[in-house]
Amino acid sequence: GNSVTQMEGPVTLSEEAFLTINCTYTATGYPSLFWYVQYPGEGLQLLLKATKADDKGSNKGFEATYRKETTSFHLEKGSVQVSDSAVYFCALSVAGNNRKLIWGLGTSLAVNP
């Protein structure tokens, strides 16, 4: 079946530190991969996506590369800010699955000044 596994949080970093949040997946077929972010008290927002192997999604200084050989889509940012404190969700979508997203459990990030 299709599934997404994210590293458990919470992750606590100091401002300007390097961030990696690991995400691996299992999927039938060729999934599209997504990272969503949820700021406190808000709904989820699409952060970035990649639709085929070796694609790199990027937005707001965050990046993730679709690695088919390791079935991974790790989220990275070179220098985090306090405003990046949020919960990050990895997700996948497989064509023909009624367009449903399969979600990871989320990783909470706290960035201290």
Using CB under 8 A as the binding rule, whether residue 40 contacts another protein is answered as no
Burial class (CB in 10 A: 0-12, 13-18, 19+), 101: middle
From the list 13-21, 64-72, 77-85, 99-107, the region that binds another protein by CB under 8 A is 99-107
Specify the residue, 42 or 69, whose C-beta has the smaller distance to another protein. Answer: 42
Q: Which residue, among 43, 49, 32, has the nearest Cα to 86 in the 3D structure?
A: 43
Summary count for the chain: helices (H), strands (E): 0, 12
From the list 10-18, 19-27, 71-79, 93-101, the region that binds another protein by CB under 8 A is 93-101
Nearest distance from C-beta of residue 113 to another protein, angstroms: 26
Q: How far is CA 105 from the centre of its chain?
A: 11
Q: Which residue, among 73, 35, 74, 75, has the nearest Cα to 53 in the 3D structure?
A: 73
Using CB under 8 A as the binding rule, whether residue 53 contacts another protein is answered as no
Binding site for another protein (CB under 8 A): 32, 34, 36, 42-46, 49, 51, 89, 93, 98-101, 103-106
